[in-house]
């Protein structure tokens, strides 16, 4: 993490080549995030390239005392959501008004044993993930495939942690119904 | 594409191949990105751009909050000036009168200000970490409490006074239009004369009205004491200008 922050500082001071290290580190993660979330195989490379171009353009707005990961994932989220909005299939799934974000949810905290089950869940979720609403698909991808915790996902999606927990829970229930109709 | 670096036939061979493919993709992306930087396709925004953006958002939020407080307090002040504020004291008919006479255009504008303020502050982590209902409740509470506290000061009173004396440019018409609005069933004024079956009131504009207060009139605050009392009358005005009071609310002297 310290190396990444140092690289960010280097880029901010004009060290262009240091940005290459950030690309090497995050390209596989962001490409996987895009594939699992968007399900458009063809333009993933272009979309991830757009994420890096936007990240480079805005790197002076990044505070190196904070974690780089939520910052770049946030940029990726915005670009991927725009890509989904542009595709007619998912256009209706992004509403301005979302009851999940509006009201508090009494959801239990993240459990440590969830981490142990992630690999198994990953295998189970992989195939039917595409049939899930993007609103539920995205937190599942970030949690199970990107190994991010609720707090980081909350920072990326800019919604409360309780909303993330609710969406993951509901997403899993929906997938359960898809797997066992 | 077959993996040329690993000739083994182990179960993790495909994983290694996958990893090599990812590395290849990443390397390609790195080269493409560095090329985009060198060619000027990707240009870094200067730091001041982000500082300015943050300052503009903060200033925008503060301006919106001040406008919200101003408008909320103006609506409350206007309701007090016209007497509508006291209409709920007269029961269901009073509430109906409020709903009929509220300045809905201003209330709608207030709601717009609230939404704009919510959008402006939504980018801050202390806001988005909590459910949006807290944000909206907070904004409504700030508008109501802040607006009410402002009406306790002489801020709107002095502006309204200037407007009435044509001494307030730009906002003068706004204050005169809303503050001096008269309704059919709610009337505010000061008692200037006691008559055998009621009294005469004079409003802020100097217009006088005769009020008939019958024996069944409802006094919501224990009755009036005499000339000089500021009162709100609930009752229809006839074509001759006489008001038959259904209810009387004493406000002050």
Based on the fold, state whether residues A65 and A34 are members of the same structural domain: yes
User: How close, in Å, is residue B55 to chain A by CA atoms?
Assistant: 13
Based on the fold, state whether residues A75 and A51 are members of the same structural domain: yes
Mind listing the pLDDT tens digit for each residue in B44-90? 999 999 999 999 999 999 999 999 999 999 999 999 988 899 988 88
**pLDDT band with cut points at 50, 70 and 90 for residue B195:** confident
Based on the fold, state whether residues A140 and A102 are members of the same structural domain: yes
User: What does the pLDDT average to over A66-81?
Assistant: 94
Would you say B208 and B201 are in contact if contact means Cβ atoms under 8 Å apart? Answer: yes
Whole-angstrom Cα distance, residue A152 to residue A119? 19
Chain B touched by A49 (CB under 8 Å): yes
For strand B230-234 and strand B218-219, is the pairing parallel, antiparallel, or unpaired? unpaired
pLDDT at A54 (0 to 100): 95
Chain A residue with the nearest C-alpha to that of B27:
A24
Dihedral sign, CA of B124, B128, B134, B140? positive
Chain B touched by A16 (CB under 8 Å): yes
- Tell me how long chain A is: 181
Based on the fold, state whether residues A106 and A169 are members of the same structural domain: yes
Chain A residue with the nearest C-alpha to that of B122:
A158
Q: Which residue, of A68, A90, A112, is where some domain finishes?
A: A90
Provide the token pair at A39.
């399900």
Would you say A152 and A33 are in contact if contact means Cβ atoms under 8 Å apart? Answer: no
- Using alpha carbons, select from B164, B229, B179, B162 the residue that is nearest to residue B199: B229
Of residues A62 and B197, more confidently modeled: A62
CB contact under 8 A, B128 and A159: yes
Would you say B111 and B139 are in contact if contact means Cβ atoms under 8 Å apart? Answer: no
Would you say B67 and B115 are in contact if contact means Cβ atoms under 8 Å apart? Answer: no
SS3 B211: strand
Mind listing the pLDDT tens digit for each residue in B113-144? 999 999 999 889 889 988 889 999 999 999 99
Would you say B229 and B201 are in contact if contact means Cβ atoms under 8 Å apart? Answer: no
Based on the fold, state whether residues A6 and A39 are members of the same structural domain: yes
Residue A113 is inside which H or E element, if any? helix A113-116
Mind listing the pLDDT tens digit for each residue in A102-114? 777 766 566 655 6
Based on the fold, state whether residues A132 and A54 are members of the same structural domain: no
pLDDT above 60: residue A20: yes
CB contact under 8 A, B33 and A161: no
Chain B touched by A123 (CB under 8 Å): no
Would you say B200 and B227 are in contact if contact means Cβ atoms under 8 Å apart? Answer: no
CB contact under 8 A, A31 and B33: no
- Using alpha carbons, select from B193, B175, B190, B184 the residue that is nearest to residue B244: B184
Based on the fold, state whether residues A119 and A170 are members of the same structural domain: yes
Based on the fold, state whether residues A28 and A84 are members of the same structural domain: yes
Chain B touched by A176 (CB under 8 Å): no
pLDDT > 70: percent of chain A: 84
Each domain of chain B, given as residue ranges in start order, spans: 47-178, 184-252
Query: How many contacts, defined by CB atoms under 8 Å, are there between A and B?
Result: 92
Residues linked to residue A9 through DSSP beta bridges, in sequence order: none
Chain A touched by B40 (CB under 8 Å): no
Question: Domain residues for A139?
Answer: 95-179
User: How close, in Å, is residue B52 to chain A by CA atoms?
Assistant: 11
Whole-number Cα distances in Å, A26 to A14, A23, A96, B55 = 20, 5, 30, 31
Among A4-18, B14-28, B191-205, B211-225, the range scoring the smallest mean pLDDT is B14-28
Angle at Cα A151 formed by Cα A178 and Cα A177, nearest 5°?
10
The string of DSSP letters for B111-179 reads HHHHHHHHHHHTTSHHHHTS-HHHHHHHHHHHHHHHHHHHHTSSHHHHHHHHHHTT--TTTHHHHHHHH
Of residues B177 and A142, more confidently modeled: A142
pLDDT at B143 (0 to 100): 97
Number of domains in chain A: 2
Based on the fold, state whether residues A49 and A126 are members of the same structural domain: no
pLDDT at B238 (0 to 100): 85
Q: Which residue, of A32, A64, A90, is where some domain finishes?
A: A90
Would you say B118 and B135 are in contact if contact means Cβ atoms under 8 Å apart? Answer: yes
Q: Which residue, of A61, A90, A119, is where some domain finishes?
A: A90
Q: Which residues from A are below 8 Å from B45, CB to CB?
A: 57-58, 60-61
- Tell me how long chain B is: 253
Q: Which residues from A are below 8 Å from B131, CB to CB?
A: 101-105, 160, 162-163
Would you say B220 and B90 are in contact if contact means Cβ atoms under 8 Å apart? Answer: yes
Cα torsion through A13, A18, A21, A22, rounded to 10: 20
| A contact residues 68-87, partner B, Cβ 8 Å cutoff | none
Chain A touched by B124 (CB under 8 Å): no
**pLDDT band with cut points at 50, 70 and 90 for residue B6:** very low
Give the nearest partner residue to B132 out of A16, A102, A105, using CB atoms.
A102
Chain B touched by A20 (CB under 8 Å): yes
Of residues B216 and A52, more confidently modeled: A52
Give the nearest partner residue to B37 out of A31, A45, A56, using CB atoms.
A56
Q: Which residue has the tokens 């670009």?
A: A79
pLDDT above 60: residue B18: no
Based on the fold, state whether residues A85 and A111 are members of the same structural domain: no
DSSP state of B9: -
ipTM: 0.77
CATH topology of domain B184-252: OB fold (Dihydrolipoamide Acetyltransferase, E2P) (2.40.50)
Chain B residue with the nearest C-alpha to that of A17:
B34
Q: Which residues from A are below 8 Å from B123, CB to CB?
A: 158
Based on the fold, state whether residues A99 and A46 are members of the same structural domain: no
pLDDT above 60: residue A93: no
**Residue A113 maps to which CATH number?**
1.10.10.10
Residues linked to residue B234 through DSSP beta bridges, in sequence order: B186, B247
Provide the token pair at B136.
């909206």
Based on the fold, state whether residues A99 and A85 are members of the same structural domain: no
**pLDDT band with cut points at 50, 70 and 90 for residue A167:** very high
Mind listing the pLDDT tens digit for each residue in B223-235? 666 888 899 999 8
Provide the token pair at A82.
């725009």
Chain B residue with the nearest C-alpha to that of A161:
B129
Chain B touched by A128 (CB under 8 Å): no
């Amino acid at each position: 993490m310290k190396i990444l922050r140092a690289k960010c500082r280097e880029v901010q001071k004009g060290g262009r080549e240091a940005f290459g290290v950030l690309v090497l580190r995050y390209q596989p993660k962001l490409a996987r995030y895009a594939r699992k979330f968007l399900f458009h195989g063809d333009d993933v490379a272009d979309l991830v390239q757009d994420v890096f171009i936007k990240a480079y353009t805005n790197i002076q707005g990044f505070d190196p005392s904070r974690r780089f990961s939520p910052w770049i994932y946030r940029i990726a989220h915005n670009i991927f959501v725009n890509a989904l909005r542009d595709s007619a299939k998912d256009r209706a799934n992004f509403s301005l008004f979302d009851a999940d974000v509006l009201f508090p949810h009494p959801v239990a905290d993240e459990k440590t044993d969830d981490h142990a089950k992630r690999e198994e869940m990953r295998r189970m979720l992989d195939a039917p993930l595409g049939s899930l609403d993007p609103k539920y698909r995205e937190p599942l991808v970030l949690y199970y495939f990107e190994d991010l915790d609720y707090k980081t996902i909350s920072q990326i999606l800019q919604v409360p942690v309780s909303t993330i927990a609710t969406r993951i829970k509901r997403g899993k229930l929906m997938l359960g119904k898809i797997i066992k109709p | 594409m077959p993996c040329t670096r690993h000739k083994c036939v182990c179960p993790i061979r495909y994983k290694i191949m996958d990893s090599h493919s990812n590395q290849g993709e990443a390397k390609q992306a790195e080269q493409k990105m560095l090329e985009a930087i060198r060619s000027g396709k990707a240009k870094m925004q200067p730091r001041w751009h982000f500082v300015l953006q943050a300052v503009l958002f903060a200033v925008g939020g503060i301006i919106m909050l001040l406008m919200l407080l101003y408008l909320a307090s103006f609506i409350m002040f206007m309701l007090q000036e016209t007497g509508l504020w006291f209409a709920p004291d007269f029961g269901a008919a009073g509430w109906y009168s409020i709903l009929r006479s509220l300045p809905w255009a201003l209330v709608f504008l207030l709601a717009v200000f609230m939404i704009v303020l919510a959008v402006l502050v939504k980018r801050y982590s202390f806001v988005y970490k909590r459910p949006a209902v807290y944000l909206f409740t907070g904004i409504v509470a700030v508008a109501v409490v802040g607006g009410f506290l402002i009406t306790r000061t002489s801020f709107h009173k002095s502006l309204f006074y200037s407007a009435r004396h044509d001494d307030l440019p730009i906002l003068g018409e706004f204050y005169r239009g809303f503050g001096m609005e008269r309704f059919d069933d709610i009337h505010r004024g000061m008692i200037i004369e006691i008559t055998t079956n009621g009294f005469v009131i004079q409003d802020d504009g100097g217009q006088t009205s005769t009020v008939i207060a019958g024996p069944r009139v409802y006094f919501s605050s224990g009755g009036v004491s005499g000339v000089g009392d500021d009162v709100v009358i609930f009752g229809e005005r006839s074509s001759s200008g006489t008001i038959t009071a259904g209810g009387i609310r004493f406000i002050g002297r």
